[in-house]
Amino acid sequence: MIKISNLRKQFSGNQVLSDVSFSIDTGSIFALIGPNGAGKTTTIRCILRAIKPDEGIIELFGEPFRWEMKKRIAVVNEDRAVFRNFTARDYAQIWSCLYPSWNDRIFSNFISKYNLNLLQKVESYSIGMKTLFFVGLCVSSQADILILDEPTEHLDPTIRLEIMSILKKYADLGKTILISSHEIYEIEEYATHFGIMKEGRIVYTDSIDTAKEIHRVVEKGESVGDGKIIGVVGSSLLIKTSKDVGRFPKLNDIVIGYLTGRTESTNLFS
């Protein structure tokens, strides 16, 4: 559904993305994970053609990007920027024109469930309400692809759980979701796949279940057998192995292991 191949982007001679490649299947929730400045938002902006990549191929729905595809993609931007003076109702009217698959009933239910005031200017919503409102717009759009930059940021714990559940149900409809997030414990709850980004490269990508199967955390000094050492996790090591050694990792162990490990070509870790 989304296939990114060898994406490269520089800003003023600074190489921000270097050969970024990953793909996302229909029905998946793919989390792009990485430290501040790793290149997650830049990748998303390239996918949306908000900026032009220097090199690389972006395929959506099995075809190279075309502008008409935008009506099948709904987005929650990183900055939650809004048009001044636009009420929630104004937004709904605009989105209903932009998205042929827009569903008014889903939108009305969402608005009443979360007590959002349709007549209020979205600019005056709290940052958490804005996020919630944009997630509501995305889900009501019934777009085939949702792209959400930090979708649970600024939300209280109850609403976070709600958003995770909404997104899971949405993906189950056969929709594809790409999120950028630092919330690894949450991602483990609701995402199906992930990519770890470090200094503009994808250093590892897989399904969460497979990644947990093929890695182990071993204590320093414990035998790693023929496993490949990936990186350090606190006082332990993350290894990639087919042997039943150490303990199974949490997603957090895998992310920390790859982030502390060497950044080389992705096949170093394959």
Ligand X SMILES: Nc1ncnc2c1ncn2[C@@H]1O[C@H](COP(=O)(O)OP(=O)(O)OP(=O)(O)O)[C@@H](O)[C@H]1O
Residues forming the site for ligand X (CB under 6 A): 11, 16, 34, 36-42
Give the residue with the Cβ less far from ligand X, 38 or 60: 38
**Bridge partners, residue 4, by sequence:** 22, 58
Give the residue with the Cβ less far from ligand X, 34 or 136: 34
Give the residue with the Cβ less far from ligand X, 42 or 141: 42
Give the residue with the Cβ less far from ligand X, 31 or 237: 31
Task: Name residues whose C-beta falls within 8 Å of residue 108's C-beta, 6 or more positions apart in sequence.
Answer: none
Give the residue with the Cβ less far from ligand X, 41 or 236: 41
Q: Shortest distance, CB of residue 169 to ligand X, whole angstroms? A: 27
CA distance 251 to 20: 21
Neighbours of 165 (CB within 10 A): 12
Q: Shortest distance, CB of residue 224 to ligand X, whole angstroms? A: 31
Q: Shortest distance, CB of residue 17 to ligand X, whole angstroms? A: 8
Q: Shortest distance, CB of residue 226 to ligand X, whole angstroms? A: 34
Alpha helices in 99-199 (DSSP H): 104-113, 127-141, 157-172, 184-190
Q: Shortest distance, CB of residue 22 to ligand X, whole angstroms? A: 14
Give the residue with the Cβ less far from ligand X, 36 or 85: 36
Q: Shortest distance, CB of residue 208 to ligand X, whole angstroms? A: 20
Give the helix/strand (H/E) hosting 97: helix 88-98
Residue 181, token pair as written in the block: 């997030």
* Strand duo 73-76 + 145-149: pairing: parallel
* Residue closest to 47 by CA, chosen among 22, 26, 30, 65: 65
| HSE-CB for 216 with a 13 A CA cutoff | 17
Task: Name residues whose C-beta falls within 8 Å of residue 137's C-beta, 6 or more positions apart in sequence.
Answer: 74, 91, 92, 95, 107
